[in-house]
Amino acid sequence: MQPTHKKALVIGAAGFVGKYLVRHLHDDKGMEVVVTKLPHEVLVPMPAKVCELNILEKESIIDLLFSERPDEIYHLAAISSVSVAWRNPQLTVDVNVKGAVNLLEALRELFYKPRVILVGSGEEYGHIKPGDTPIKEDTLLDPGNIYAATKAAQNMLGRIYADAYDLELIMVRAFNHIGPGQLPIFVVSDFCKQVVDIELGKKEPVMYVGNLSAKRDFTDVRDVVRAYAALAESGVKGESYNVGSGHAVEIRQILDLIISRSSADIRVEIDPAKIRPVDVPIIEADISKIKAATGWEPKIPIEQTIDETLADWRRKESEDGETV
């Protein structure tokens, strides 16, 4: 007999995506939601039961799964920044690979099979030639950085565990997602914050940027979490799905869009510290597979996302708390 009231577990809810996913699951899907965080992390208020969990402790994961018995699990806990991964490879491998294996092993202990979304990255595809885009899910993985390698490992392990142990695992390769509240270590939020700080006179009218010629596939985070929930409902176990907009945009165009929304006179300079050791020229998703499986497609245009991200930074950075 199917339960009438579903419960979702969001592992690693303190990050950028967590609060949006919880709102969607609770407000739009009507689910009971349990979230996890590390002891030092602070969550924004959200309609969910909060539990502390370190995914490097397998027994703690087992205890949580047995006590909460979620119908759906969303594994968001990860070192999710490419730049942070370059600076700390060991921690990235521990969290992104060992943490994922701990979850997979814990799932084998359960007496039932929840639907599980393992969140990976479009970075897993790595060194893609322009002629090979948009990228399909069966494209050979060729990770170009440490973060991407750990996510590719998680994806492969997920497929193996789904087949070998009959687990309801669905793998996601999420391309760049953006929106209000994202940390400024990510390019769009970084650009928006720099513009706002210039507007408020907090910094000189110079924007420091990295590689502007790279092309990336950007999707609003609110569209991304809808995709995750749709895959939990309709995705095929053991399969991988791209989640993106289906359109690559040059970073230079993103920068121009953001600057055009400001009245400040802004100069742009390259900051060598923002150049990655290895960068992939173009990453663009083919999203036909998720569309076919779930009917999902992105709805929020990038201009709206940029406007709302700028507005969010203006609220945060304004000394009197008022929108500039």
DSSP character at residue 25: I
The Cα 18–Cα 174 span in angstroms is 14
Query: Is a pLDDT exceeding 90 seen at residue 324?
Result: no
CB count in 10 Å sphere of residue 180: 21
**For 45-55, what is the mean pLDDT?**
96
**For 297-324, what is the mean pLDDT?**
86
CB count in 10 Å sphere of residue 139: 17
Q: Is the CB of residue 35 less than 8 Å from the CB of residue 22?
A: yes
pLDDT band at 323 (very low <50, low <70, confident <90, very high): very low
211-248 tens-digit pLDDT: 888 889 999 999 999 999 999 999 999 999 999 999 99
The Cα 50–Cα 35 span in angstroms is 5
pLDDT band at 319 (very low <50, low <70, confident <90, very high): low
CATH class of 187-216+247-282+300-317: alpha beta
pLDDT band at 178 (very low <50, low <70, confident <90, very high): very high
Helix axes 58-68, 99-109, angle to 10 degrees: 50
Query: Is a pLDDT exceeding 90 seen at residue 158?
Result: yes
Strands 215-217 and 248-250: antiparallel
What is the pLDDT, as a whole number, of residue 3?
Answer: 40
Query: Is a pLDDT exceeding 80 seen at residue 45?
Result: yes
DSSP character at residue 216: E
What is the pLDDT, as a whole number, of residue 215?
Answer: 87
7-178+218-243 placed in CATH 3.40.50.720: yes
Average pLDDT, the chain: 92
What is the pLDDT, as a whole number, of residue 128?
Answer: 80
% pLDDT > 70, the chain: 95
Q: What is the pTM of this model?
A: 0.92
Domain residue extents for the chain: 7-178+218-243, 187-216+247-282+300-317
